[in-house]
Structure 1
Amino acid sequence: MAARFRIVLASSYALAATLLLVPLQVISMKTGLWRETFILKIWHRAILRALGIRVRVTGAPVQNRPLLIAANHISWTDIPALGAIADVCFIAKADMQGWPLVGFLSSLQRTVYVEREQRRKSGDQAGEIAKRLVKGQAMVLFAEGTTGDGNLLLPFKSTLFGAATMAVAEGVVDEVAIQPVAIAYTRLHGMPLGRRFRPLVSWIGDQDLGPHARLLLETGALDVEISFGEPVMFRAGDNRKQIARQVEERVEALFFASLHLPLSKAMD
């Protein structure tokens, strides 16, 4: 009974916040009356409050521009967690654009949609991200290309790191800052999440959004730690695959530090 009441109350709160803030965001995008991320931050914080998710932050986004933030990916809740604390735009799978309501809300964040399976389109997609980088927008790349289970990282895919190559090649900028960011869900109702329960938060594969959101609403009181590392500077002549691996190693170290696990033990 208590869980059902919580779901109704939290859903009502999230709906009310969305109905209030979406028109303001549309006005912001059309008029420039506010910085676009101003309204988005308020909305993301409302969603986190509805879900009962508390964000703990280590470090901060660097001021360098262009800035590409390379993060691991565990759940759809990573987006409001990052969006609540940083002025960023996201890179998402193309099929998300067609989702009811979610696609519309994603477009209000000026999301760049990519088709990771279409390798022949990777150049165009990296080019669009490069244009946004050169304009000064901080772009978030979930570099694994999919979601992990919250216990381990998946190998980073280097294709969209090509956006940094293109941004530098245009000659407008000499370098692109690529900042590693680790996302880790660490506590539930104040108690440490162990290996067994971390996948509870993970949103994997073809899992429907609705049931997963309901599960999180029933669960409540989650802590997520977001750790910003030192950026890797990408310059002309750098190899994107090598840079991607270097960034991956930094995200991995930050991730296991958030879980308070040495890398050797985490990989056992």
Structure 2
Amino acid sequence: MPVSADPAAIAQPTVPRLPALSWARVVIRLSAMVGWLLMCVPTYYAARLLRLPIHVPRMFLAGIGRIAGARIATKGSPAPAPVALIANHVSWLDIPALARARGAAFIAHDGLSAHPVLRWLCEMNGTTFIARHDRAGVAGQVDQMRAALATHPVVTLFPEGTTSDGRGLLPFKSSLLSALDPAPAGTTIQPVLLNYGPGSAEVAWVGTEHGVHNFLKILGRAGRLPIVVHYLPPLEGSSLASRKAMTAAAQAALGAALAR
């Protein structure tokens, strides 16, 4: 599910109309996901109990993406941690892709926190929930995001605020970059393009499509889905002068890369 999706879209489940063969793929992939979850959860808690480095959430998300058909490739040079990634947002597969490529934690809309299972899974990966529409609580949200940046070496923000069709960008919201103004000492800010190529229109979650419908539609599709995680040059100089400068620079960089 997109981390910044409208919670109302998640709260009203529906059953999509899919061909019989697509439903067979859904059953197979969903069963594999449940089995993978049952394998990862005990490992996660065992690592916590033994106070070992916990890489299970990254492994779990990477496995979920692979089961769904995603095949992740990278392009460009990832900046060394600590780094804040500014990414475009196309699908819930963005999360497994970035977790697989960089082990990223995420800034998510707090609508997801109302769903116990989703909240539990998100918190395992260090997700920070913010109330995107609560303007009165902006200061607290900034503190939350700064705490996430201090705790996790790689954090991802989706400044579009919701998912696009993957062929263009929605206007970036500079308020979502408030925690980076100024950026914590030593933190690099790097735009990263999630490129689904010709498959973007097929998997993107846009408009009034229900979240469950999108999830099942992706599980029911045939073949593999290539996703390129393209690291762009980190922001520097005047691009870091303010959150609005960062927003404009990141959107311009991502837009130019997407146009290519």
TM-score in terms of structure 2 length: 0.84
Q: Which of 47, 53, 56 is the equivalent residue of 2:70?
A: 53
| Counterpart position of 1:243 | 246
**Alignment check: 8 A CA contact 1:177 1:234 kept:** no
- In 2, Cα distance between equivalents of 1:136 and 1:7: 33
Q: Which of 45, 59, 62 is the equivalent residue of 1:42?
A: 59
Q: Relative to 1, partners in 2 of residues 1:77 and 1:44: Cα closer, same or farther, differing over 3 Å?
A: same
Residue type of the partner of 1:180? Answer: P
Provide the secondary structure at the position in 2 that maps to 1:179: strand
- In 2, Cα distance between equivalents of 1:41 and 1:90: 12
Residue type of the partner of 2:46? Answer: I
Q: Which of 196, 215, 234 is the equivalent residue of 1:213?
A: 215
- In 2, Cα distance between equivalents of 1:9 and 1:58: 31
Residue type of the partner of 1:251? Answer: L
**Runs of 4+ off more than 4 Å:** none
List per-residue Cα deviations over 1:152-197 (Å, max 9, x = no partner): 10111111322122554xxxx2x531100111211xxxxx44xxxx
| Counterpart position of 2:8 | none
CA shift, 1:30, in A, is: 5.0
**Alignment check: 8 A CA contact 1:178 1:234 kept:** no
CA RMSD of aligned residues (A): 2.1
Provide the secondary structure at the position in 1 that maps to 2:101: coil
CA shift, 1:3, in A, is: 2.7
CA shift, 1:100, in A, is: 4.3
- In 1, Cα distance between equivalents of 2:144 and 2:103: 19
| Counterpart position of 1:184 | 195
| Counterpart position of 1:199 | 201
Q: Which runs of 5+ in 2 are unaligned?
A: 1-19
Q: Which runs of 5+ in 1 are unaligned?
A: 187-191, 258-268
**Alignment check: 8 A CA contact 1:201 1:216 kept:** yes
Percent identity over the alignment? 27
| Counterpart position of 1:264 | none
Q: Relative to 1, partners in 2 of residues 1:107 and 1:182: Cα closer, same or farther, differing over 3 Å?
A: same
CA shift, 1:145, in A, is: 0.7
List per-residue Cα deviations over 1:46-78 (Å, max 9, x = no partner): 21222111112112421142x110001011111
CA shift, 1:211, in A, is: 2.1
Q: Which of 163, 170, 192 is the equivalent residue of 1:154?
A: 170
TM-score in terms of structure 1 length: 0.81
Residue type of the partner of 2:195? Answer: A
Q: Relative to 1, partners in 2 of residues 1:98 and 1:207: Cα closer, same or farther, differing over 3 Å?
A: farther
CA shift, 1:206, in A, is: 5.8
| Counterpart position of 2:257 | 254
Residue type of the partner of 1:4? Answer: W
| Counterpart position of 1:229 | 232
Q: Which has the higher strand share?
A: 1
Residue type of the partner of 2:225? Answer: L
Provide the secondary structure at the position in 1 that maps to 2:74: strand
| Counterpart position of 1:143 | 159
Q: Which of 98, 104, 120 is the equivalent residue of 1:82?
A: 98
List per-residue Cα deviations over 1:88-139 (Å, max 9, x = no partner): 1100100111124222111111101111111121221112211232345211
Q: Which of 116, 120, 139 is the equivalent residue of 1:123?
A: 139
Residue type of the partner of 2:38? Answer: L
Q: How many residues align?
A: 239
**Alignment check: 8 A CA contact 1:93 1:114 kept:** yes
| Counterpart position of 1:106 | 122
